[in-house]
């Protein structure tokens, strides 16, 4: 027999009339009944994980509540519902006993912090993520659990890099690399090398970036991480384009498409689309670039990818600019600058800023010259957090796209 309330207020009044101990008893009984009901159907357990987490939390069973909050968070993250996933992981974090001497609690704290970093980064929650990870680092020595701490240091480096604090980013990434190599964790090594590749690309060290990209791909291939493998291949293609290695770029791009399709990862598809956009822009196919950029922007918005949204707005703006639509360009570039400032990442807001693009591109469609173009390496080594740089006036439209492509970095998923 079951009962239904015809009005939510009636349900609330009845619920509030129960003694706290009785409520706790009912929540626990409901959760355990659901577990028994779906015991042989793991897909149903996963589907109802959020409800199970709620009832076990209110029923006072922290052990099972923690487990189901993690399961609900994983399920939400898999569908790019990052805000929902973050809420579940935060609830799981609150359920971990504060005892620093308990090894199990320490492991859970590390696992939950890593999960939180994975979903907070695409949301642009850089400061909050750094605060959380620093708290984890302060609680123990990274040599106590090098495999997990390798990932903590990776996410520290990732978020510092997103904020333009490159020296701090490199310190954590190299520590992550060191810990990963100590434990033989090829996946963690692949992550660290991939982000070092992105930092080198951003700062103009393209040959070194290519070395890191190839090492990252080798590690991830060995680890069998298809999703991250596709991500690393995309950056390798971008670096080859920046180095004017046209033949290798085309071959790598075709291989990248195969890996992206194999990964079935929307973030990889989105980043690949942006890589193609920069190639269209570089080849003077501005109208195609503008149309494709609108599609890429829609995909980035669909998966809630904060930083790629900024670059989508920038790319649409540049396409509009070069096709003789300055008002439309201004609108999109201003939106991109506002979004970058909103997420608190200096280089993202600067990449789309109107004065910066005016200085870089000269507001004129570049004239095509006969013969091979002389390549200029991008130089942003003098970058500061205030958005000033030595040598920005020497950037060409090609080097500005290489700069922007190098900015478009991502997470593991």
In a domain, 19, yes or no: yes
Q: Evaluate whether residue 127 is within a structural domain.
A: no
Tell which of 59, 74, 95 closes a domain. 95
* C-alpha to C-alpha distance for 237 and 243, rounded to whole angstroms: 10
The count of domains in the chain is 2
For residue 31, give its domain range: 14-95
Q: Are residues 264 and 380 in contact, defined by beta-carbon separation less than 8 angstroms?
A: no
- Where are the alpha helices (H) located in 203-265, listed in sequence order? 206-223, 226-242, 246-263
Cα separation, 220 vs 187, whole angstroms = 5
Q: How far apart are CA 185 and CA 97, in angstroms?
A: 28
Q: Say if 302 falls within a structural domain.
A: yes
Q: What is the largest CA-CA distance in the chain?
A: 84
User: Is 287 among the domain residues?
Assistant: yes
Closest C-alpha to 379, from 201, 166, 169: 201
Look at residue 62 and tell me if it is in a domain.
yes
pLDDT digits over 221-267, tens only? 999 988 888 888 988 988 888 887 878 888 888 888 888 888 777 77
Q: Which of 48, 70, 95 is the last residue of a domain?
A: 95
* 261: in domain: no
Question: Which uninterrupted H or E stretch holds 160?
Answer: helix 146-162
Sign of the alpha-carbon dihedral angle for 321, 353, 388, 170: negative
Query: Rounded distance, CA 246 to CA 309, Å?
Result: 28
H/E run at residue 138: helix 126-138
Element counts in the chain: helices (H) and strands (E): 21, 0
Chain segment 7-63, per-residue pLDDT in tens: 555 555 555 555 566 778 888 999 999 999 998 898 999 999 999 999 999 999 999
pTM, two decimal places: 0.76
Q: Please report the pLDDT score of residue 394 as a whole number.
A: 32
Which of 65, 95, 125 finishes a domain?
95
**Residue 112 domain-assigned?**
no
Residue 283 to residue 281: CA distance in whole angstroms? 5
pLDDT 10s digits, 137-164: 998 888 889 999 999 999 999 999 988 8
Look up the CATH number of the domain holding residue 349.
1.25.40
Question: Where does the pLDDT of residue 3 fall: very low under 50, low under 70, confident under 90, or very high at 90 and above?
Answer: low
Tell me whether residue 359 is in a domain.
yes
What average pLDDT score do residues 88-110 get?
A: 90
Kindly report the number of other CB atoms within 10 A of residue 119's CB atom.
27
């Amino acid at each position: 027999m079951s009962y239904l309330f015809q009005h939510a207020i009636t349900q609330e009044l009845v619920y509030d009339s129960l003694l706290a101990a009785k409520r706790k008893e009912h929540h626990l009984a409901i959760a355990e009944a659901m577990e028994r009901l779906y015991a042989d159907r793991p897909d149903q357990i996963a589907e109802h994980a959020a409800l199970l987490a709620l009832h076990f939390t209110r029923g006072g069973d922290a052990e099972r509540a923690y487990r189901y909050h993690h399961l609900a968070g994983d399920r939400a993250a898999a569908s790019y519902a990052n805000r929902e996933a973050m809420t579940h992981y935060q609830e799981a974090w609150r359920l971990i006993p504060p005892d620093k001497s308990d090894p199990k609690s320490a492991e859970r704290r590390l696992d939950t912090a890593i999960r939180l970093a994975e979903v907070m980064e695409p949301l642009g929650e850089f400061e909050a993520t750094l605060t959380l990870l620093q708290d984890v680092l302060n609680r123990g020595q990274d040599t106590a659990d090098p495999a997990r701490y390798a990932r903590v240091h990776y996410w520290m480096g990732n978020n510092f890099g997103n904020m333009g604090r490159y020296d701090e980013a490199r310190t954590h990434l190299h520590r992550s690399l060191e810990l990963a190599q100590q434990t033989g964790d090829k996946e963690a090594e692949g992550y660290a090398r991939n982000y070092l590749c992105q930092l080198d690309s951003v700062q103009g060290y393209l040959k070194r970036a290519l070395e890191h990209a190839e090492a990252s791909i080798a590690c991830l291939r060995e680890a069998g991480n298809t999703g991250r493998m596709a991500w690393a291949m995309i950056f390798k293609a971008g670096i080859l384009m920046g180095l004017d290695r046209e033949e290798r770029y085309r071959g790598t791009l075709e291989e990248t498409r195969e890996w992206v399709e194999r990964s079935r990862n929307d973030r990889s598809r989105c980043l690949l689309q942006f890589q193609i956009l920069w190639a269209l822009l570089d080849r003077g196919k501005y109208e195609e670039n503008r149309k494709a950029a609108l599609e890429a922007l829609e995909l980035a918005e669909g998966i809630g990818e904060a930083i790629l949204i900024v670059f989508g707005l920038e790319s649409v703006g540049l396409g509009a600019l070069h096709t003789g639509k300055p008002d439309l360009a201004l609108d999109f570039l201003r939106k991109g600058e506002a979004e970058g400032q909103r997420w608190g990442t200096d280089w993202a807001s600067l990449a789309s800023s109107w004065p910066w693009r005016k200085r870089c591109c000269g507001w004129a469609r570049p004239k095509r010259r006969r013969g091979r173009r002389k390549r200029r390496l991008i130089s942003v080594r003098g970058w500061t957090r205030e958005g000033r740089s030595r040598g920005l006036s020497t950037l060409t439209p090609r080097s500005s796209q290489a700069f922007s492509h190098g900015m478009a970095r991502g997470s593991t998923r």
